[in-house]
Structure 1
């Protein structure tokens, strides 16, 4: 069926031509890692370096370098794209992980983009001779 074919497709923003095979997971990071970073950052309000340390223990198969890159990428994209979340229609939420900026997850449209926090993350990684 047509709906079955649609449901089998990988999620994608479809910003590149279809022949490039773009998927959200390949552009960002594995969803299980993304979910953990989001939970630690948004719900638990943890700093990037703390999140990175936790990811190293939870996802050793990816390596500290890649996990550091993904942690930094999450925070850069999060702060850069806040204006998109501000455009969301009002909605009703029953969870503690809502990204709705009007009712739960307040974050300024203009910010420092976590520059100090990410500098600390890179400094901590560099002290371990880990670079991305």
Structure 2
């Protein structure tokens, strides 16, 4: 799997309640959305940005840990930029490549994982978690 490039990112609050056909409830579960742009300076490092639009950008730094017995582990830290709406933000992402089905039709590479707010910001506490999926563009 190649991480370098652009990925559509969405994270979802981990609410176990079914939403049925209530589209508004389903939309309220979205925690964040944007575009990951990754570069891989080495096979084990990743850097880039998460651009959520409107000046909301996190700078990303992380590692890729290949596992001989399973999928690689991707660990990324996101840091807000001084002088922007994300100043002081800090998030941690932990994910894995989505399984590529041998007989999958038109399957797109994905990353699935979880996120945690590492530092409080804007009156919201640290420790809030969500699940995420990123799909290669």
- Verify same fold: TM over 0.5: no
Structure with more strand by fraction: 2
TM-score (norm 2): 0.30
Find the structure with the greater CA-based Rg: 1
